[in-house]
Structure 1
Amino acid sequence: MWQWLVRLYHRLGSPKWFYEMTERWIFWLALAAGGSAIVGLVLGLLYAPADYQQGDSFRIIYIHVPAALLAQSAYMMMAVAGAVYLIWRMKMAAWVAKVIAPVGAAFCLIALLTGAIWGKPTWGTWWVWDARLTSMLMLLFLYFGVMALQQAMESEEASYKAGAILALVGLVNIPIIKYSVEWWNTLHQPATLKLTEKPSMHPDMLWPLLIMIVSTYLFFALVVILRTRNEILWHERKRQWVRKILES
């Protein structure tokens, strides 16, 4: 098993192998992401019962929670890719970190906007300087900072290195986001899903949420793969195998 993982790690570091292998994944990822999104949204918006306190306004949870979870996960993936680049100088890791940054920032922005829309009928205001909201806003700024550093220097290597260092430093914000509702008295409700506790949601509400979370991660994987393939074509454009692809 360990040898297989090591072999896979080295293969993923090969731009040519990654490009050729992911060609097979794109259609199925798109089909799975689109199909699960349709199922999740139909179940969540049309069939899930209204919340006894929030009414139908709670249904934004099917966009808000998956986006918020993905924004945090994407940041951790970006930081790990940055660490791999810093330690082993694997160029594929730097490209993956680069393409994750704007995708993660987009989902973070979606989480903040849908949270504001949800907060208006629930709290009576679009925004409060709540610990959870403020730490999520800091996450968005960290994404922007990483993207800026990745483009700021003439040396591509130095830009990747600076972005990776900031991404690793910013990891301290992830546990703050997660535990902010427990460490401080906040308006934001506690976590909807916990691995150590039975979900409090009714199954008719819970299953659409789980499906939407899976759909969001599948969509994220699809977008990152497509963007990474573009990075490969750009950086490897002088190689013979890329020229053949572009010519065809």
Structure 2
Amino acid sequence: MASVVLRPGESLLFGRAPHAAATPGPGRIALTLPDCAAHVSRLVGELVVGENTVMLHWLGAGEAQLSSLFDAPGGARRVILARSMSALLDRGENQLLLLLGRQDGQSFTDLVVNIDVETDPELLSELPEGLDTEKGPGLARGSRDWFVALALCEPWLAGNDDYPRPPSNREIYERVRQWHGYTWNLQRPQRVDDAIRAISAIAFGVSDDPFAAPHVGRLQNIRFSVARRAAEVRLVTSADLADVERIARNRNFPPPEGSPASPAGQ
């Protein structure tokens, strides 16, 4: 990872190919992040240094996780950044994690960017421009794994992040049956487990898949991590949940009185 030093009044544009997405100028530097996956936006963020503040504006289509370590009663903070969000950086070490943003062959892992507010070695990078942004790894909409991911992540997508546990296999099966009708034999718990393993491999990337590593403790702890991660990398979204709920309501809604499908119309 190339490094740059920014001083008050300067800013840094960074991403897979920032030179192709924005025009650098005096005090405005562009930095290409190495080993970016093709689905990472050409311009993911802008770091702006003021007299007393350092502000990060997130411009990418995908999500990132911002963490900071600082001496405060609350300890470290961690927030998920989505497009058009901004965050003030804390003094000292900050870490920006582009979720599944690094590509090595066919494998995807998180791309880490370290930001030190106060001191950083001086090294400017001039790397070539990239091609158009591609679609990132995901699930086929309407597939078995997509519906299982939706049911698994429902507490997080609905805003219940303090939900005490991830949904059980039976609960996942019932939700898919309610939303879709056809259930791909998910009444068999092994089918649900198989789907969650497939979701985990996509959400974490093969090399970081918790199911592929030796683990101790309850598998429910891994399931909790998979559910939260799948929601963070937007394998399924709140909009997806709203869509399937709406479709299910419309499917089960009784036909208007007098219509051919209603008892009075027959």
TM-score tier (shorter): under 0.3
Higher Rg of the two aligned structures: 2
Higher strand share: 2
TM-score (norm 1): 0.27
Higher helix share: 1
TM-score (norm 2): 0.26
Greater length-normalized contact order (CA 8 Å, ≥ 6 residues apart) = 1
